[in-house]
Amino acid sequence: RKEQELDSKDAIILHQFSRPTNGVPSLSPFCLKMETYLRMADLPYQNYFDGKLSPQGKMPWIEYNHKKVSGTEFIIDFLEEKLGVNLNKHLGPHERAVSRAVTKMVEEHFYWTLAYCQWVENLHETRKMVSLFGPFSDLLKWILCHLTKGIVKREMYGHGIGRFSEEEMYTLMEKDMRTLAGLLGDKKYIMGPNVSTVDATVFGHLAQAMWTLPGTRPERLIKGELINLAMYCERIRRKFWPEWHHDDDNTLYESEESSEASKTYSPLQDFSFYSRTETFDEEGNSISQTPDTDYTGHSLFDSDVDMDDYRDHEQCK
């Protein structure tokens, strides 16, 4: 396929995997982390679902002013330096250290147990969510998913965690989830009343357990015993992904910020709500152009827009 030349002058172009079919923004914890971070930081961005990996073989990755950066940690450092954003400016040295420790536990340990559940044990359900179209889409999805399964098992074995039994891996997963639940407690976000970078990381991973692993042990745990993690996921989803509507929405996980009106608005079909430029599909065709303001005149790129007022307005209509 002929590649489209992208102009990344003063624009953040986010390369990531295609949207899955179940309404969740991404089956990749790191892609969901990166896009959630951009929304938390109120940075306009342009999605590009070309499936092309970075020169380092990573996904997601960004282009900004023709500079390519991969690895979510390096991307965040790069954006902080270039654009002056900092979600951690309210944190002290001890809190920053705790945030980094939690990030590494989630990305270097918890991630692998999720990957096992998603791409090995629950592969049949995951295959239904993969977005591929065309006359041979079913065959291609089967091939893609089984190739991914083999890659995940090989990399898990190299990591070391894949050398344990399934029961032992789930034991490690539960320990990580209980640690996150204990750290969160009854706080609004991981480090307190305000979002920080670690929340994008934790949400990107917990969202997989919450919405992409039906009937599995991590889903039962987060929606059962560790209910504070489920409420945490809903809190972030409703605040930073207002167009991400889920068929199973109910009052079970509603917090003080939720209302009955939160279940009345219709889901948007695309996920470029916070993007000031257009979203492109795999063929380089423009999908959508979102407005700059809502009905009140507030900027849609401001993540602190009062969503309750917005939903009340939609309900009246």
Report yes or no on 191 lying in a domain.
yes
- Best CA proximity match to 201, nearest among 190, 212, 211: 190
pTM: 0.78
122 within domain boundaries: yes
| Residue 292 is assigned to a structural domain of this protein | no
Q: What is the pLDDT of residue 51?
A: 80
pLDDT in tens, 124-151: 888 888 877 767 777 888 888 889 899 9
Rg (C-alpha) for the chain, rounded Å, is 19
In a domain, 251, yes or no: no
For residue 198, the domain's CATH number is 1.20.1050.130
Residue 5 lies in a domain: no
Domain that residue 173 falls in: 12-241
Q: What is the pLDDT of residue 203?
A: 98
CA distance 45 to 242: 17
Does 90 map to a domain? Answer: yes
Structural domain contains residue 43:
yes
Cα 185 to Cα 4, 193, 204, 231, 232: the distances in Å are: 47, 12, 19, 11, 10
Least confident of 16-30, 121-135, 184-198: 121-135
What letter does residue 121 receive in the DSSP assignment?
A: I
Q: How many domains does the chain have?
A: 1
Spatial contact of 139 and 161, defined as CB atoms under 8 Å apart: no
- Quote the CA–CA distance of 128 and 148 in Å, as a whole number: 14
The predicted pLDDT at position 168 comes to 96
Please indicate, yes or no, if residue 299 is contained in any of the structural domains: no
